[in-house]
Amino acid sequence: MPGTQGVSKALQALWDAARKAADTIEFLRNERTSLSERIKAIEGELAKLKSDLAKSESLVASLKDEKVRSESARAALQFNGDREVLMAKVKDLLARIDGYL
């Protein structure tokens, strides 16, 4: 029967196309799953990096504050040292003036 053979070939072609489509769908689902897992891993790494960055920024801010405090303390010590030198000079001048009187 010639008509049956044509129908059989058409059904076979349809079956092959359906199988190919099913294989493609399965491949794409697996690919989607793989990409989703990769995205989750990258998002986790990004969250960790953001946390590390926040800690580093906090440390930098803390070190800047400490530097400012240190410079202020150093300036105060220098001022106190200059003050003591000035006081010593004033006392010396007063002693000289007393010596002339």
* 1-29 pLDDT per residue, tens: 556 888 999 999 999 999 999 999 999 99
Residue 56: is its pLDDT beyond 60? yes
Region of poorest pLDDT, from 49-53, 70-74, 80-84? 80-84
| Cα distance between residue 29 and residue 40, in whole Å | 17
Looking at the chain, the whole-number percentage of residues with pLDDT higher than 90 is 54
Round the average pLDDT of the chain to a whole number and report it: 88
- pLDDT of the residue at 91: 85
Residue that the structure tokens 């079956």 belong to: 15
Residue 100: is its pLDDT beyond 90? no
| Cα distance between residue 44 and residue 40, in whole Å | 6
Give the mean model confidence (pLDDT) for residues 29-48. 98
- pLDDT of the residue at 1: 53
